[in-house]
Amino acid sequence: MKDIQQNIADIEQKICAAAQKSGRKREDILLLAVSKTIDVQHIQEAVDCGLTELGENKVQEILEKYEKLENVSWHLIGHLQTNKVKYIIDKVKMIHSVDSLKLAEEINKRAKQANIIMDILVEVNMEQEESKFGVSPEDTLSLIQNIAFLDNIRIKGLMTVAPFVDNPEENRDCFRRMKQLLVDINNEKIDNVHMSILSMGMSNDFEVAIEEGATIVRVGTNIFGKRVYPQK
């Protein structure tokens, strides 16, 4: 197994190549280190390599790691239950997984109490997979129109978890439609809504995602190695 530093260097090179290939700037793309199931010591190695933005999909894991890592920011990328918003509202920089008005309203309420404005992404279930969270592409505009009324939320863009595929090219069309959805919704000129973030692409397909306009790629396995889930 290569070490984390080498893994990051390899990914960095691929990000640069994909950006160049599509006429984009490297600095317009954030490499979000997905640290779920990874212990603090290994995460610190990635942080020391400059990856200071970390993604977790469970509230509990953010709470456990929050005090132990300094000078980092946390992104919640997994499904968020309404009753857990209060635990992380003052701890995360962005919530990538907003897929209902009810959840947005709770985030808004807690953000107001904390006197902050929370940046969020709307999660889109692009291929309408049953196993996945997210709003359907058809319902995304109306959800955003409703969230736009909430004063303590800033809608920064869209997020998707693309299907698991053998060949990343199979997801190119999905990423392309995500980009188009963002452009179309911006063209609606909804008050307070101008989206610029596309959070899409993971270890398997981040290069294709970048070529199609991703501004955040969420990478776990390629940085830290295969995840080991604790036995229940």
- Which is closer to ligand PLP, CB of 150 or CB of 156? 156
Compute the distance between CA of residue 100 and CA of residue 25 in angstroms, rounded to an integer: 33
Compute the distance between CA of residue 118 and CA of residue 107 in angstroms, rounded to an integer: 8
Count residues contacting ligand PLP (CB under 6 A)? 14
Smallest distance, ligand PLP to C-beta of residue 199, A: 8
Site string for ligand PLP, 149-178 (x = CB under 6 A): ------------x-----------------
Q: Which residues, 15 to 54, sit near ligand PLP by CB under 6 A?
A: 34, 36
Compute the distance between CA of residue 9 and CA of residue 210 in angstroms, rounded to an integer: 17
Q: Which residues, 83 to 122, sit near ligand PLP by CB under 6 A?
A: none
- Cα distances from 96 to residues 17, 66, 159, in angstroms, run 26, 18, 6
Q: Is 219 in the site for ligand PLP (CB under 6 A)?
A: yes
In what helix (H) or strand (E) does residue 222 lie, and over which residues does it extend?
A: helix 221-224
Query: Judged by CB under 6 A, which stretch of 16-24, 146-154, 180-188, 202-210 contacts ligand PLP?
Result: 202-210
Smallest distance, ligand PLP to C-beta of residue 149, A: 27
Interacting residues with ligand PLP (CB under 6 A): 34, 36, 57, 77-78, 161, 202-204, 218-222
